[in-house]
Amino acid sequence: MSILEVSNLQKVYTTRFGGNKVQALSNVTFSVEKGEYVAIMGESGSGKTTLLNILAALDRPTAGKVVLEGRELSTIKEADMATFRRENLGFVFQEFNLLDTFSIRDNILLPLVLNGAKPAELEGKLLPIAERLGISDLLAKYPYEVSGGQKQRTAVARALITDPKLILADEPTGALDSKSTDDLLRVFRDINSQGQTILMVTHSTKAASHASRVLFIRDGEVFHQIYRGECTNEQLYQKISDTLTLLTTGGEQR
């Protein structure tokens, strides 16, 4: 059963004074199954971020539609959008986007509180997630007191705490050193193995090699995709690497 269906997505940006039109997405169609771990790869300017913004309902497509668990995003009213996002999606960003006025604990709890959860329920939800992500000891600390990897795990915890249908991750390893990257990817694997659907945009081959499926985007279209199948991470890494070489050396063929 597919949780996310994207069909014929198109996005055209018009510069402020009319005139120039920039086609960010020309025709994107794909779907994500429940429990899948999908990585989307592409060069800078390929339309990755535009796609993610549309999936996150932060931006609206020019044409085409996005259906999340049977609900079409364009039918949701602007006023309900934030609530919809809060209840259905979890976000992990490259720059962590933690509030430095909040302790780690409060950063994680924020979406729950915004959802109107009862103060008494909070601790019960927080502790298992913090335990799983190995940040139980850090809860009282502030973002400026912890490392980049710990910040990102905090961000993951914040994304998970509302039990979202889909986690959208935008270059989650972009600001991390290699050890923290490994840690984070292991975390993603873990939560995915427990049934969490993840969609990750990245241009790190290593990050993508942990996914169960990799989509390649070029010039606003889905250019290619690779299923993990029975491959190990290393084998998948090789496959991705080959595809990227093909992509950049410019084979127009499919």
Instruction: Report the C-alpha gap between 31 and 38 in whole angstroms.
Output: 10
Q: Is 41 in the site for another protein (CB under 8 A)?
A: no
Instruction: Report the C-alpha gap between 139 and 49 in whole angstroms.
Output: 31
Q: Is 101 in the site for another protein (CB under 8 A)?
A: yes
Looking up tokens 């976000």 gives 91
Q: Is 12 in the site for another protein (CB under 8 A)?
A: no
Contact yes or no for 183/151 (Cβ under 8 A): no
Q: Candidates 44-52, 109-117, 130-138, 241-249 — which segment interacts with another protein by CB under 8 A?
A: 109-117
CA angle 248, 253, 254 (to 5 degrees): 100
Q: Which two tokens stand for residue 40?
A: 């989307």
Q: Fill in the amino acid letter for 238.
A: Q
Query: Using the rule CB under 8 A, which residue among 106, 182, 219, 221 binds another protein?
Result: 106
Q: Is 93 in the site for another protein (CB under 8 A)?
A: yes
Q: Which two tokens stand for residue 196?
A: 């969490």
For the segment 191-250, give every residue that binds another protein (CB under 8 A): none
- In whole angstroms, the minimum distance from the beta carbon of 136 to another protein comes to 18
Query: Sheet holding 213-218: strands in order across?
Result: 71-72, 63-68, 2-14, 21-33, 221-227, 213-218, 37-41, 198-202, 166-170, 89-93
For residues 166 and 214, which CB has a smaller minimum distance to another protein in the complex?
166
For the segment 140-159, give every residue that binds another protein (CB under 8 A): 142-145, 158
For residues 22 and 58, which CB has a smaller minimum distance to another protein in the complex?
58
Q: Which two tokens stand for residue 219?
A: 């010039």
Query: Using the rule CB under 8 A, which residue among 113, 186, 235, 242 binds another protein?
Result: 113
Residues contributing to the site for another protein (CB under 8 A): 58, 79, 81-83, 85-86, 91, 93, 97-103, 106, 109-111, 113-114, 116-117, 119, 122, 142-145, 158
